[in-house]
């Protein structure tokens, strides 16, 4: 399927989703992009050939958030419905069975950072900046930023970023744990793809089970989280890949995982 705002390519089990610039040479959460994201995400859970998803932008632009002109032209009710759709889509990204890598080729601000926060991993070019500037507009990050950010980095630092709206460098973001790795400019996508291929070569069922257990368990008490993860144990030990992995280890050879 061909889209206006998203370009897709797939190689070695890695689906690359590239967000395209709009008519003003920026990437914003225009309704067209939001609708295309929704269409792509609906199909991904059943795509066994897609083991990992990488999301990136174009040139030196990742995603700078909502389109303020569009926001201003909508009614209050339309903005509420639009924000709810963003929440639904971002939740869907976070809960995909596949690991998601946000390759931050450009600055991630506002809704752009909120999207990046839903990813399993965040890799960044060195010169980018990250921030949630909504408070400077008299609003708040409405698509999950107020909740995901303090769950990822120290609460006081998250609060400072939320209340000031100030952006930080990629290196500072790595120090806080907001970004996993920082690379010299123009190198992040290559590193993201290499990392994605490494994950894609792993046993699909185990990778997806671990991701789900961690994601769901983060919102449960410890005992409930352990019980939730336990349900995967019997499923995995009876899988082909588990038997292959154990046999390969004992026979001192590389396992050949089939994803079942």
Tell me, what's the pLDDT at 77?
A: 93
State the residue range of the domain holding 243.
204-250
The tens digit of pLDDT for each residue in 183-235 reads 998 899 999 999 999 999 999 999 999 999 999 999 999 999 999 999 888 88
Of 178-182, 187-191, 225-229, 256-260, give the lowest mean pLDDT range: 256-260
CA angle 175, 180, 183 (to 5 degrees): 90
CA dihedral 123, 128, 131, 137 (to 10 degrees): -140
Give residue 102's Cα distance to chain centre: 5
Mean pLDDT score across all residues of the chain: 92
Q: Which residues of 215-225 are buried (b: 16+ CB within 10 A; e: fewer)?
A: eebeeeeeeeb
Q: What is the CATH number of the domain that holds 227?
A: 1.10.12
The structure tokens listed for 1 are: 């399927």
Diameter of the chain by CA atoms?
65
99 pLDDT above the threshold of 70: yes
pTM of the model: 0.93
Query: Could you tell me if 244 and 169 lie in one domain?
Result: no
Q: Are residues 47 and 24 in the same domain?
A: yes
pLDDT for res 25:
75
Write out the catalytic residue numbers: 66, 111, 114, 134
Spatial contact of 119 and 89, defined as CB atoms under 8 Å apart: no
Question: Given this model, what pLDDT does residue 14 score?
Answer: 95
Residues 132 and 236 in one domain: no
Per-residue pLDDT at 158 exceeds 80: yes
In a domain, 183, yes or no: yes
Average of pLDDT values for 97-122? 96
Cα(21)–Cα(24) distance, rounded to whole angstroms? 7
Q: How do residues 45-77 score in pLDDT, each as one tens digit?
A: 888 899 999 999 998 889 888 888 888 888 999
Contacts of 110 (CB under 8 A, 6+ apart): 64, 65, 66, 131, 132, 133, 134, 141
Task: Name the domain count of the chain.
Answer: 2
Separation of alpha carbons 26 and 259, rounded Å: 39
pLDDT in tens, 3-36: 889 999 999 999 999 998 877 778 888 888 899 9
Helix, strand and coil content of the chain, in percent to the nearest 5, comes to 50, 15, 35
For residues 143 and 95, membership in a common domain is answered with yes
Contacts 24+ apart (CB under 8 A), 215-218: 215/94, 215/95, 218/151
Is the pLDDT at 161 greater than 70? The verdict is yes
Q: Which residues pair with 6 in a beta bridge?
A: 19
What was the pLDDT predicted at 66? 82
Tell me: do 50 and 155 sit in the same domain.
yes
Joined together, the tokens standing for residue 99 give: 């690991």
Question: Residue 34 is part of a domain; what is its CATH number?
Answer: 3.90.226.10
- Pair (96, 185) in one structural domain: yes
Q: What is the DSSP letter of 46?
A: G
- In sequence order, the 6+-apart residues with CB closer than 8 A to the CB of 257 are 201, 202, 203, 204, 241, 244, 245
136-152: pLDDT as tens digits: 999 999 999 999 999 99
pLDDT of res. 1 = 66
Distance CA 122, CA 99 (A): 11
H-assigned helices in 142-187 = 145-152, 155-164, 170-176
């Amino acid at each position: 399927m061909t889209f206006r705002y998203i370009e897709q390519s797939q190689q070695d089990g890695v689906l690359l989703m590239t967000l395209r610039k709009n008519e003003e040479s920026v990437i914003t959460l225009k309704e067209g992009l939001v609708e295309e994201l929704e269409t792509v995400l609906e199909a991904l859970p059943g795509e066994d050939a897609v083991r990992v998803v990488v999301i990136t932008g174009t040139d030196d632009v990742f995603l700078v958030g909502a389109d303020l002109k569009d926001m201003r032209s909508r009614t209050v009710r339309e903005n509420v419905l639009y924000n709810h759709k963003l929440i639904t889509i971002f939740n869907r990204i976070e809960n995909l069975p596949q690991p998601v890598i946000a390759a931050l080729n450009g600055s991630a601000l506002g809704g752009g950072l909120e999207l990046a926060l839903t990813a399993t991993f965040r890799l960044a070019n060195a010169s980018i900046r990250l921030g949630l500037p909504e408070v400077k507009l008299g609003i708040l990050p409405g698509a999950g930023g107020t909740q995901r950010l303090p769950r990822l980095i120290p609460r006081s630092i998250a609060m400072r970023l939320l209340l000031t709206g100030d952006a930080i460098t990629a290196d500072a973001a790595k120090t806080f744990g907001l970004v996993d790795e920082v690379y010299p400019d123009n190198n992040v996508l290559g590193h993201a793809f290499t990392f994605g291929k490494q994950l894609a070569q792993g046993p699909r069922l185990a990778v997806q089970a671990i991701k789900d257990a961690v994601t769901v368990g983060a919102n449960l008490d410890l005992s409930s989280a352990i019980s939730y993860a336990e349900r995967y144990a019997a499923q995995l030990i009876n899988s082909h890949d588990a038997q292959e992995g154990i046999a390969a280890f004992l026979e001192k050879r590389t396992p050949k995982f089939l994803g079942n």
